[in-house]
Amino acid sequence: MSATGSETTTDRPIEHPRVGLFVTCLADIYRPNVGLAAVALLEKVGCSVEVPQTQTCCGQPSYNNGDLAGAARTARNTIEAFEDFDYVVVPSGSCAGMLHDYPRLFESEPGWQQRARAMAGKTHELISFLTDVRGLDAVDASFARAVTYHDSCHGLRALGIKEQPRRLLASVGGLELRELNDSEICCGFGGTFCVKYPEISGRMVADKADAIAATGAKVVLGGDLGCLLNIAGRLGREGGGVSVYHVAEVLAGMADVPGLGDPPGSGGRSR
Amino acid sequence: MSGRETVLASIRRGLGRGPLGDAARRALDERQGATDSAPLLPKLPKGPLQQVFRAGLEKVSGTMSEVAKLDEVPGAVAGYLAGHGLGPEAAVAPSLESLDWSGAGIQASFGPTRGGDYAGVSLAWRGVAENGSLVLLSGPENPTSLNFLPDHHIVVLHGKDLVAHLEPVWGALRERGEKGWPRTVNVITGPSRTADIELTIQLGAHGPRSLHVLLVD
Amino acid sequence: MESLSHAFKERSVHALKDETLQVALNRAKDGFAVKRAKAVEGLPEFDALRDRAVAIKNHTLENLDHYLERYADAVERNGGKVHWASSAEDARRIVVEICRAAGAKMITKGKSMVGEEVGVNGALEGAGFEVVETDLGEYIIQLAHEPPSHIIVPAVHKTRGQIADLFHENHQKYGLTRKLSEVPEMVNEARQVLRSKYLEADVGITGANFLIAESGTSVIVTNEGNGDLTCSLPRVHIVTAGIEKVVPTAEDATTLLRLLARSATGQDLTTYTTFSTGPKRADDTDGPEEYHVVLVDSGRSTMLADQFREMLRCIRCGACMNHCPVYGAIGGHAYGWVYPGPMGSVLTPLSVGLKEAGNLPNACTLNGHCAEVCPVRIPLPDLLRTLRHREYQLKLGLKPLRWGLAAWVWFTSHPRIYRLGTRVQARMLATLAGRKGRFTRMPLAGGWFKGGRDLPAPQGETFMAVWTRRRKERGQ
Ligand code: SF4
């Protein structure tokens, strides 16, 4: 274990921290490009990135469906895989928020709770880690498109992520950000909610798609793949030619692949 | 067990404790409210209290005019009624009975109303600058019905009775000692309104359609 | 009130298809949120006041027995009478008895959520009294024989056309036969009809927003003035209030008042804030001769025992539902009981049981907007999650979901098998989706597509696979 506890990491910036990338199950399966973009961005800010092979899921499906014991089992796996790093970085506000909640799962297991707390203390969502911990305020990328941005709820409310992605996007060459009306309103994903209450969820994402259309932007960005899959699914169904990317892909200059749910071979937009 | 004892026992079960001891209860009684600290009073906009009060009142569609002396109130009321196309009649709070109403050409009735009066005139106990609110105390001198049944409510407020926030009003009520709280304290902030139909704001739902303050200063 | 929460799913789907309702809901959606935001912006102390409010409520709840006793003693000192109702049934019985003893015929009511909760109207009508709701919104839904769909604006689901029809149908008997179409004339007509009711009523029943322990005072806030007419014109005034409404002093109530209207309607203060203390005094020339308070427990004391004590801080402002996207999509009636939206999704299962209302805590994306705006900082999403936990422990949820979760937990705690499985899955889905890049349907995943959306396909390789290959190539 590295000598740095969770306290020191926030006090004194480490020059070349060892960062464990928790890629999230959705990025792993659906969008490896997000993981690669995260690695690229982290390396730019002087981190040495490692990807523990034993990581799986953050445990939200169990946690949010009332199976706390199941969530704890998944959590133990994550803690064992990540507790030795200087930082744990997650390209998702939702999953990062889950890792912050781990201590709650171990109310009756003080040992594990201690470990969970220590890890939570050094866990960050990717974009806010880049800006708030590593002091990044500009990136070296270009993306000559009008884009709009959806603030995913967990990142926004649990972690206070709002201005950070906008700050970095402002430095992307050629990019024009058109603010989304109701950008802080939930897209209707909500994990298993979207399949348990599809009609309600469908209405919410349809509203989101309307708001997106009203901006006239043909690209939507966000920081959470769950929401983005939902939004891309709706936009794909509507067929309006709007592409969806994780914000990290654009910031890393790696949005040169098709957007989420776009036909293979249709990308190549960033230069 | 009485209803009271049943509910209290159930509360104590919920709280996981028995009845509080005398010392603990005394300590609670001695606190000034739920928090140990003095109430947090919002900062008011700069300027004299009257100006802040007027701004608050106008924000909620109330109106205000000023008179120099209490004696001028009946004349001002007469002017208000004429200006609103109303006849020279008003239901007036007994606290204002000593004024010369007939001299101003007003047929005044004194005492509570059962409706049917177009204008009611009452005397405020305090005015609160924070929101342009009026504080009226019920009593034989100031029947509550005057505040609600007439279409037009005219309230007389002495400049010296203007305070910044509601809190000093409660302090002053406590100082009334024996008399303490009257049956009703009405804090009135603007004329009656509703937004119950399509969230469209409409004045004069059940209470007065207009509220006018006569500031005596 | 009887619960229809078990039918949440069907009712919510129905609501989504109800076009008139959707018009009404869309109107409400932005209005409230924008007004609240403006009001909050105008009070820089808002957040500090929220902290105070939490402290006031927490302290009072910790000492609830003490403050209620002080309150009750003060009421009786002022000549009022306090009745203690353990259950909804007790509350109904007590109210009926008071009205009987008063020889009442006609009863007017101010809006009271606890009144709706315990079912006061039904009990009174069953006992032969005529009951008239006086809050315009409550009056409208009374004419429509519907429960409220919002705790602040009970008829928010109705359009003016529907209201015009209701008035036309019900006001003929007063000789008001013209069909109306404009809001001002409708408000006027209701004013006219209800005016006579106030004057006729023998008993007026109101709720209470706060009870002040120190002075034995009940506080109501209204914009219309209906509450005041209800509590000052009839011979008897009955206040129905939950036991959690008590606060120690008028100053404490004032702190909460600064938050209440701003959170509810975006006003700085409601038009009429009325502090009632006992019946008319010996020399008063108006006011009720009797003043009764019915303190309702009905499950509240049980909530003191655990995490749900936080819910007892609720001041019924409605901000949580005004900001809830689920409420915004389906409205209040789908929830099937008195309290809709986030606060209702916590309160309803506690009141009518998880078996009946298990859908409510689940029908939430946990987006946290409600907790963000709640003036007394109730962690509504956490409470909903706790209810889901209870439901899980009681094995009440859907079986396939339980099995799925169990399988997922096993999978996620066996990383090697997980790696292999995800690789196969990503590859397979990408291949199946082919050139389209997404699915328009898929067996076993019907729920996703029922929401009117496609499912984007994976890129093909998992990140882990790409990463491992890359490290090998780099010779790491
Ligand atoms: S839970 Fe909070 S936001 Fe919702 S009604 Fe109660 S006090 Fe208002």
Give residue-wise pLDDT tens across range C294-342: 999 999 999 999 999 999 999 999 999 999 999 999 999 999 999 999 9
| Contact: B112, C285; criterion CB under 8 Å | yes
Specify if A64 maps to a domain: yes
CA distance B79 to C135: 34
Is the model's pLDDT at C123 over the cut of 70?
yes
CA distance C364 to B64: 48
Verify that A93 and A157 share a domain, yes or no.
no
Return the domain boundaries, chain C: 43-301, 399-473
**Cα–Cα distances in angstroms (integers) from residue C325 to residues A201, C220, C446, in the given order:** 9, 29, 23
- Least CB–CB distance from A261: residue in C413, C437, C466: C437
Q: Which amino acid is at A121?
A: G
Is the model's pLDDT at A271 over the cut of 60?
no
Chain C CB within 8 Å of residue B141 CB: no
Specify if A270 maps to a domain: no
CATH number of the structural domain spanning residue A167: 3.40.50.11810
What residues of chain C lie within 8 A of the CB of B195, using their CB?
153, 223, 265
- For C321, the 3-state DSSP assignment is helix
Ligand 1 closest atom vs CA C318: 5
Chain B CB within 8 Å of residue C183 CB: yes
CB of A7 within 8 A of CB of A121? yes
Domain extent, residue A41, equals 6-132
CB of B42 within 8 A of CB of B165? yes
- Rounded to the nearest integer, the mean pLDDT of chain C is 94
A 10 A CB-CB count for C366 gives 25
Q: Is C404 left (phi over 0), alpha (psi -120 to 50) or beta?
A: alpha
Chain A CB within 8 Å of residue C365 CB: yes
Specify if A54 maps to a domain: yes
Say how far residue C62 (Cα) sits from the centre of its chain.
24
CA distance C387 to A250: 40
Verify that A22 and A52 share a domain, yes or no.
yes
Verify that A11 and A128 share a domain, yes or no.
yes
**Which is more confident, C388 or B176?**
C388
Verify that A57 and A35 share a domain, yes or no.
yes
Domain count, chain A: 2
The superfamily in CATH containing domain C43-301 is: NagB/RpiA/CoA transferase-like (3.40.50.10420)
CB of C206 within 8 A of CB of C226? no
Verify that A144 and A36 share a domain, yes or no.
no
Band of residue C441 on the pLDDT scale cut at 50, 70, 90 = confident
Q: Which helix (H) or strand (E) holds C33?
A: helix C19-41
Of A70, A104, A132, which marks where a domain is finished? A132
- For A142, the 3-state DSSP assignment is strand
Verify that A115 and A203 share a domain, yes or no.
no
The finding on whether C375 has its CB within 6 A of some atom of ligand 1 is yes
| Contact: B10, C302; criterion CB under 8 Å | yes
Q: Look at residue C19 in the predicted model and tell me its pLDDT.
A: 94
**Cα–Cα distances in angstroms (integers) from residue C430 to residues B175, C446, C447, in the given order:** 79, 19, 20
Query: What is the number of helices (H) and of strands (E) in chain B?
Result: 6, 12
CB of C407 within 8 A of CB of C399? no
The finding on whether C315 has its CB within 6 A of some atom of ligand 1 is yes
Specify if A65 maps to a domain: yes
Specify if A46 maps to a domain: yes
The finding on whether C374 has its CB within 6 A of some atom of ligand 1 is yes
CB of A14 within 8 A of CB of A86? yes
Of A101, A132, A163, which marks where a domain is finished? A132
Give residue-wise pLDDT tens across range A89-138: 999 999 999 999 999 999 999 999 999 999 999 999 999 999 999 999 99
Say how far residue B80 (Cα) sits from the centre of its chain.
21
E strands of C100-181, at which residues?
Answer: 106-109, 130-133
Bridge partner residues of A88 (DSSP): A20, A123
Measured between CA atoms, the residue of chain A closest to residue C437 is: A263
ipTM: 0.96
Chain A CB within 8 Å of residue C183 CB: no
Specify if A265 maps to a domain: no
The finding on whether C113 has its CB within 6 A of some atom of ligand 1 is no
Specify if A202 maps to a domain: yes
Give residue-wise pLDDT tens across range B173-187: 999 877 789 999 999
Measured between CA atoms, the residue of chain A closest to residue C453 is: A234
Q: Look at residue A9 in the predicted model and tell me its pLDDT.
A: 45
Verify that A73 and A175 share a domain, yes or no.
no
Verify that A119 and A163 share a domain, yes or no.
no
Q: What is the pTM of this model?
A: 0.94
| Contact: A196, C456; criterion CB under 8 Å | no
The finding on whether C320 has its CB within 6 A of some atom of ligand 1 is yes
CATH number of the structural domain spanning residue A99: 3.40.50
Verify that A44 and A124 share a domain, yes or no.
yes
All structural domains of chain B, each given as residue ranges with its CATH number in brackets, are: 1-30 (no CATH), 41-216 (3.40.50.10420)
CB of B120 within 8 A of CB of B90? yes
CA C26 to centroid of ligand 1, rounded, Å: 21
